[in-house]
Amino acid sequence: MVTTKYTRENISIAIIWLFHLSGIIGILYGNSEWFISATPLNLSLNFALLLINCKGHKWFFPMVVIGFLTGMITEILGVQWGWIFGDYQYGEALGYKIFGVPLLIGVNWSLLTIITAAIAQQFYQNIFMRIIIGVGLMIFLDLLIEPIAPELDFWVFDGVEAPLQNYIGWAAVALFLQAVFHYFKISIVGWFPHQLYLLQIIFFTLLLIKKTTIGL
């Protein structure tokens, strides 16, 4: 007989799978506008569950704050003056903004830094390799999101397509955040970060496929 342990982590993983699969089905086959409008709720839930499942190390919450502030400051510089990432503006799908940047973007920078760093640390002992893998995982997800971001009303670049500057900027900011995470030797155990990253890859890959075949 197979028994399932109803641990905090297992319940959290089940919740994020439920929300992401519902979102995928809803956007692909249902009322896509309603499900896209629920993006802030989904991202907030992901972040709350991340905090619940990954806390423990003394530098974890300071890292959350560093990730948030770094993301917000660099994005504000981008939106207001075109620095770092290029010339772009945010839409309305991600909710309340400060200086043109949704607060959830800062949350997303923090979340993405932590889950990718957590994945990297569980596969490599060498700090250099951890940083490189973490940066690579962050850029890979951005590559999936950029082509469909305008359709989701996330953000849009002045030249429609994201310029090379955007990816260079992403790599630079990601490098800084990954280096800080591993410098403080933050240890995160469990599979929640892996599941959350995997779900985001599946979610945006399916949306990208829909866009290239029948459109969003």
pTM of the model: 0.91
List CB contacts of 148: < 8 A, sequence separation 6 or more.
204, 207, 208, 211, 216
List CB contacts of 115: < 8 A, sequence separation 6 or more.
50, 193, 194, 196, 197
Model pLDDT, residue 191: 92
Model pLDDT, residue 23: 86
Q: What are the residue boundaries of the structural domains of the chain, listed by start?
A: 8-213
Distance CA 96, CA 102 (A): 5
Strands 88-90 and 155-157, bridge-based pairing: antiparallel
Model pLDDT, residue 32: 73
Model pLDDT, residue 6: 66
Q: Are 23 and 35 in contact (CB under 8 A)?
A: yes
Determine the Cα angle at 203 with ends 65 and 125, to 5°: 55
The 3-state DSSP class for residue 156 equals strand
Please list the rounded mean pLDDT of every run of 10 residues in the chain (216 residues).
Answer: 66 94 84 80 94 87 97 96 94 94 97 96 91 97 94 89 94 98 91 95 90 73
Model pLDDT, residue 36: 77
List CB contacts of 183: < 8 A, sequence separation 6 or more.
none
The 10 Å CB-count burial string (b at 16+, else e) for 195-204 is bbbbbbeebb
Distance CA 49, CA 44 (A): 9
